[in-house]
Structure 1
Amino acid sequence: MLEVLFAYILAVFLLIATPGPVVALVLRNASLYGFKVALFTSIGTNFASLILITLAIAVILGVFQVSPFVLSLLSLLGCVFIFYLGASSLYQTFKSHQNKSSQDLNTQEKFGKNTLKKTFISSFLEGFGIAISNPKDIIFFMAFFPQFIHISPSITLSLSLLVAIWILLDFSILMSYAILMQKVIFLRYKNGIGIVSDIVLMIVGIFGGYYLLQGLYESYSL
């Protein structure tokens, strides 16, 4: 069963580490607002993951079933939220730059600080919202998570291990990104990284929504 466990660890690592809306959000918040904001963002994403995992386990155990249409609808709403988050952040970033004087810019460069502010609660809610609506996470938990529940003879032990591994890897990888963003070499380009992250969020929202709508159209036009 060890090979199944290693396969699960690799799958989770690649899913979380691969650039996507969650990683883009953490990078953006770490670059523009600092490590603490990224920390609360990551806590929000992990809390959302726990909810999705709980739902997946309930489906696996036959407690209830999830309609494919409802799942697609939730994913579509998630794409809208992801696009809105990136677009609104991008707008606020450009608006903030337009309102800054040259003295503000010099001070920011000197001390490596950003005048933009974000509360920890709003950071948590952002992380929670983008993770709970992330199509990639929904698909993973509902479709792939059940494939690994036989890593031990006890289903309770198996589910406990899968959940613990997910949370540990999820939090560790996101925090690694956040810590990396605090390095001097990245601080020089933090505004650019924030803008790129916002654009990634918008692209994910657009293409995710497009493919979901196309899938729904093909399903109900047959």
Structure 2
Amino acid sequence: MDLSLYWGEFLTIAGVHLLAVASPGPDFAIVLKHSISYGRRIAMITSIGVGVAILLHVTYSLLGIGLLLKTNPLIYTIFSYVAAAYLVYIAVGALKSKAVDTAEPASEASSNEISNRKAFAIGFLTNGLNPKATLFFLSVFAVAVSSQTPSSIKLAYGLYLSVATGMWFCFLSYLLSTRKVRAFIRQYSHWFDRVMGAVLLLLAAKLVIV
């Protein structure tokens, strides 16, 4: 198999994905919140959850299931409302955030407030339940990838998108969870959580209105 034949497709997919993953959305909001609230380790685990969820969308696209979601308004609406309800659930918790004791040093100790499993699940569900993410990947595979491209190559594209997404959010987690950044924001963390809660509510509204 001559892999050089697929570099054009790969670069197109990689470029479009880079623009999409860098755009603010539910994934960005939840990773940002966890970076500040729980620290680097939890934020990175959340990021890995987001990256793994990409494989779910890739599977939809390769199997053609995403086409059903795209062409059936009822299924799309139901899926959108489920996703919106999940974002509202997270948002309500953030809006109830209380001020922390700033006399205590900012450390990774606060990461004990949430388990690794829960952090991964939140990242996975935040991305996995986003119908717009499903449609994005369906569109990318339909437009940028030839129908003649072997399934093994398409799978390789999907694995790249998953790893690249996870690495991007892990990098973001690293930057946002540095000691200076967390120390600066920690004294206003309850307000920060409330703002992020409001952002998640707006994203949930956008899912069911647009």
**Superposition TM-score tier, normalisation by shorter sequence:** 0.7 to 0.9
Q: Tell whether 2:205 aligns with 1:206.
A: yes
Residue of 16, 20, 25 corresponding to 2:21: 16
Preserved CA contact (<8 Å) 2:48 2:170: no
1:56-90 per-residue CA deviation (whole Å, 9 max, x = no partner) reads 10008x9x844342123212210121122122222
Q: How does 1:177-216 map to 2 (within 5 A)?
A: 177-187=172-182, 188-190=184-186, 191=189, 192-211=191-210
Task: Tell me which amino acid in the other structure corresponds to 2:167.
Answer: S
1:40-71 per-residue CA deviation (whole Å, 9 max, x = no partner) reads 212222222212211210008x9x84434212
Length-normalised TM-score, structure 1: 0.78
Residue of 39, 43, 46 corresponding to 1:41: 46
Q: Determine helix, strand or coil for the equivalent of 2:103.
A: helix
How far residue 193 of structure 1 moved from its aligned partner, in angstroms, is 4.3
1:96-130 per-residue CA deviation (whole Å, 9 max, x = no partner) reads x2xx5xxx3212xxx21375711111111111211
Specify the alignment match of 2:116 in structure 1.
120
Specify the alignment match of 1:164 in structure 2.
159
Distance 1:198 1:180 in 2: 21
Q: How does 1:16-95 map to 2 (within 5 A)?
A: 16-59=21-64, 65-66=68-69, 67-91=72-96, 93-94=97-98
Specify the alignment match of 1:134 in structure 2.
130
CA RMSD of aligned residues (A): 2.5
Residues 196 and 180 of structure 1, relative CA distance in 2, 3 Å threshold: farther
Distance 1:155 1:69 in 2: 32
Distance 1:126 1:198 in 2: 14
Preserved CA contact (<8 Å) 2:34 2:43: yes
Q: Determine helix, strand or coil for the equivalent of 1:150.
A: coil
Length-normalised TM-score, structure 2: 0.82
Q: Once superposed, which parts of structure 1, at least 4 consecutive aligned residues long, lie more than 6 Å away?
A: none
Preserved CA contact (<8 Å) 1:8 1:148: yes
- Counting matched residue pairs gives 197
Preserved CA contact (<8 Å) 2:94 2:196: no
How far residue 17 of structure 1 moved from its aligned partner, in angstroms, is 1.3
How far residue 171 of structure 1 moved from its aligned partner, in angstroms, is 0.9
